[in-house]
Structure 1
């Protein structure tokens, strides 16, 4: 079942630098939600707070009503959260299938000690997960590449591998960090169709950080616009694109006035 994400007054400070200031919003189960804003707005920092890579200075982050602020990424995975990164973190010398299987560690029974003993139930679980990983690759058009080393494939295919790895975690809440970055138009169109299919078929809540406004407009139910670490506005993508404050944040007040 898709997860609900709620942020209330989330702030993040490094020394005297305020990176995020009192950011609040809610993402309903099954929504595709966008986080947008100019460079330096705090989008990735907020993603890092949600996914456990940063601990907020103050505020609350809940998944289905359970407080998760400051939780370790492995703990958040048990709450159904998975994420991708702007620059895919792959083991380039490993095969595509091996990279996808790295997403299965939260689903293996026992722990490292039991895994090293190669007990029967560990072997059974590994066979099931391998089958699931191959099915995910086939479903996302990468079945042909399962046994190819990742470093022989393009940046766009690396994005697809990382998405499959995140999906193998069986997420209910999926965070996509600039999934369209560096992709040509045809691959962006494929990405849009893939995310739509995930929401329709897998019952996943999706939150996207993205600069590609065409993708945001095509996919999202709602967006939050950040500027200098604060929430500037919340609404639909169309409302954001026509909001004077958003236009000023992206292209500057003088340019916005000239365009008016």
Structure 2
């Protein structure tokens, strides 16, 4: 599809004030998309981003919406407010997430409480499922939709944070595969990006240098590189049911 056909489309991006969310919002706005900016507590950043996005083009609209994605009622309210103020989302980037306790790869599983496990899954997985469930019917009805999940390399490797985080991200892959297979015939594509060691994000605010040494390209990734991958998934109507790993070559894959 041509990028011209994205003009006037609405993208809902969760966690939009973070590094990856912000970079993606700017990339899609440059293609003519309006942006529904979700934020949790960074109201000033969200308001400033909305003004910056609207300045990218006359047809671009942007509004900020607050919600705690660990609260089911908040998620429903978020969707209802976006619908009332901006219309149906054509693009959904499920980007927001939390880590939960950081026990590391050598931690003990008993160091993660059931309450922390459930909170991580609710915020990372349940909210992505619910927003997808709310957005897909209209996408299928109109014959166009783009759904992208922000996963993590930890979904495949276990990662360096903890079992609650790795498992919540891995679950997104199964959800993505089902949605992609079910709605491909309706013009709805569904994919995932799986970044690792991306600086300029809350998760990687002060990365130790030994982490850089794990990366074959010998540097950390930046949010704009993840955003360029999301942009490709939004503009490519033939790309669906895929996990795009962005880790500087740390993990090898055949497909």
TM-score normalised by length of structure 1: 0.33
Give the TM-score of the pair, scaled to structure 2.
0.33
The structure whose Rg is larger is 1
Greater relative contact order structure (CA < 8 Å, 6+ sep):
1
